[in-house]
Chains A and B, each alone.
Chain A
Amino acid sequence: MKRLICLLLILSLAMLVLTVSYAQDTDPDTLWAADVNTDGVINILDLTLVASHFGETPTADQSPNPDVNGDGSVNILDLTLVASHFGKTVPPPVVFVRTPLFLRADPAANSQLDVNDAITVTFDKTPEDVTVSTGVAIVDDKIVTITGPFTAGPLALTITWSDGTQTQTLTYTVKQPVAFVGVDPTIDSELTVNDTITFTFDSPPDHVTVNVGDATIDGKIVTIQGPFTPGPLNLKITWNDGSLTFTYTVAEPDTDAPDITSGTVSNGAKDVDPKAINSNLRIEIEFSEAVSGNIALQTAAGVDIGWLGRVEGNKGILELVKGKELGNEITYVIAGKVEDAAGNSTDISITFTTASKTSGIPIEVTDATFDSVVLGSEVPIVLEYIKDG
């Protein structure tokens, strides 16, 4: 009963204060505090709530909180405050929603991109309604990934979010894709185990990898050095802007030394007509494969006669030097050494002896030596056509 009387007294007092201070301006925070039950109106319900907790010391986070003025206790001041705004409508609190902020881009703006690069843009919170002027944007929480391909040249990428209210423009330079120009040896050719394959691009490629061997990059040139495994070879080269596969056949290692297959003279030949050789101006030796090396015409004692020797392709050639013609009844040695591409070498030693000027032994001629031996002879010639030697 005492409590009810007290309440009515307070209510009367509050109504009195209300009439006095009704016209006072109030800030929203005070109105929200006076609307103790948060129903949007300051009325008797709020006064009742304060009165029902009168004398208490509520905690700051208590709800509803009858400590209207926030001084730590529910007292007459709180009742007065509610009473002074009695009947007022409390505006709903304004909920401020901040738009996400652009933080950074990777790669950073003003840097170079490759055509197929991706750009990641980081915000401080998840952006909504994201659109981009170029490429495709994928939003994953605070990260927006923009994928190409982008067109080579200058790129101005505009990102828009928050329903078009926020934009950020990032500028880049998109590099021209590096294009393949050629390869040596050509595709489908045969390689040796230790061959080198050379690729040429129109500009220096980045991030070059190969599935066989090691790639060495020197500007626009990429070389892949063997050894390669004998058999079919599928060589895939990948670089920043593409990949290509080339097929080759890697031959078994060559371990065969070059052979002498034929020649103007054969080893051990006797009665070789020196006139026929002199008139031909040369001696030739054929090998079983292409070789390099040297060759010389010597006496049996190893003295160089002075003919010009050279090795070309699969031939060894000795050219007559004027005044160094072959004589009769002399033993000559064709000496030298040749080597094939795999490094297999053969020593050359072909010994032959020229015929006596008047030996009386029939000389065998060929179509090639016929004119010099028969038609160019100083002595009469009896030519005998025979069959099988």
Chain B
Amino acid sequence: MLGLGVERLRADMNRLLALLFHQGVLDEQFLQLQQLQDESSPNFVSEVVNIYFQESEKLLRNLRSLLMDRELSDYKKMGVHLNQFIGSSSSIGAKRVRNVCVAFRVASEQNNRLGCLRALELLEHEYCYLKNKLHELFQIEQQRLLAAAVRYPVQH
């Protein structure tokens, strides 16, 4: 029964991942991230993603405060933040977030305040979606690991 649970959870995970890939939320870089997880760093993916969340939220806050400064928005600084956002998002395979960041950067280079605001909203939306989905993924992963751990004594 528990063994079946493991299989079911694995299937759930794969389905969620397939969905995220299909939606373009994630790309193959995320798979590379998963491949980097090994015995020496068993929680590598969640570790990195959590760092990513922290950093991203910092960046989003900064971007918003830069844009809210109605008079003199520092577009150059915005560009710097966006470059970092692009780098980290693409590194974990957050494809859609990255794409929005690129659009955002274009708008900031054109000193297009309206475009920037729109892009920021979209970015926040995409980021939230990604965060929720990844949390979901990690939760299933946790359950799967628990189930897998339980199985061994049963098999005895």
A complexed with B: no
Q: Which B residues lie at the A interface, using CB under 8 A? A: none
Q: Which A residues lie at the B interface, using CB under 8 A? A: none
